[in-house]
Amino acid sequence: MADRRRSIGSAPLWMVGTLGAAITALGFYVQTNGNSATNQMVAGTLTAVGGGVIGAAISIYFAATEGRDTLAMIRKMMADFSKAGMRSEENSLSPIRRSWHYYYLTRKDDKYLWRHFVYRFQDSTTPNSIEVMIVDESAGEPYEAFTEVALRKDRLIMVEIPKNGDEPPLVVVAPGFTEGYRDVRAGVVILKTWDATGMLSKCLWSTRPLTDSNGREVSHEAALILEELWQRNFARDYEILPLVSDKPAAKPSSAGSSDDL
Instruction: List pLDDT tens digits, range 184-231.
Output: 999 999 999 988 899 999 999 999 999 977 668 999 999 999 999 999
Cα 236 to Cα 26, 86, 157, 261: the distances in Å are 45, 29, 21, 16
Angular region, 110: left φ>0, alpha ψ -120 to 50, beta rest: left
Confidence of residue 34 (pLDDT cuts 50, 70, 90): low
The CA distance from 84 to 103, in Å, is: 25
14 Cα distance to chain centroid = 34
Give domain limits for the chain: 2-82, 93-235
Question: What is residue 124's DSSP assignment?
Answer: -
Angstrom distance (rounded) from CA 183 to CA 176 = 11
4 pLDDT tier (thresholds 50, 70, 90): very low
**Average pLDDT of the chain, as a whole number:** 80
Q: pLDDT tens across 72-82, in order?
A: 655 555 555 55
Q: Is the pLDDT of residue 17 over 90?
A: no
Strands (E), 76-184: 99-108, 111-120, 130-136, 143-152, 155-162, 170-174
Q: Quick one: pLDDT at residue 90?
A: 87
What average pLDDT does this structure show over 87-104? 93
Q: In whole angstroms, what is the distance from residue 241 CA to residue 251 CA?
A: 13
The answer on pLDDT for 233 being more than 60 is yes
- Look at residue 123 in the predicted model and tell me its pLDDT: 93
Is the pLDDT score of 256 beyond 50?
no
Q: For the sheet containing 130-136, what is the strand order?
A: 130-136, 143-152, 155-162, 170-174, 185-192, 198-206, 99-108, 111-120, 217-218, 213-214
Q: In this structure, are residues 184 and 165 in contact, taking their beta carbons and an 8 Å threshold?
A: no
Residue 3 pLDDT class (50, 70, 90 cuts): very low
**Residue 111: which of 194, 229, 171 has the closest Cα?**
194
Q: With bands split at pLDDT 50, 70 and 90, how would you rate the model's confidence at 11?
A: very low
Assign 57 a pLDDT band (cuts: 50, 70, 90): low
Percentage with pLDDT > 90 across the chain: 43
Burial of 64 (0-12, 13-18, 19+ CB in 10 A): buried
Q: Does the structural domain 93-235 have CATH classification 2.40.128?
A: yes
Q: Report pLDDT digits (tens) over 145-170.
A: 999 999 999 999 999 999 876 789 99
Q: H or E segment at 214?
A: strand 213-214
Q: What is the largest CA-CA distance in the chain?
A: 85
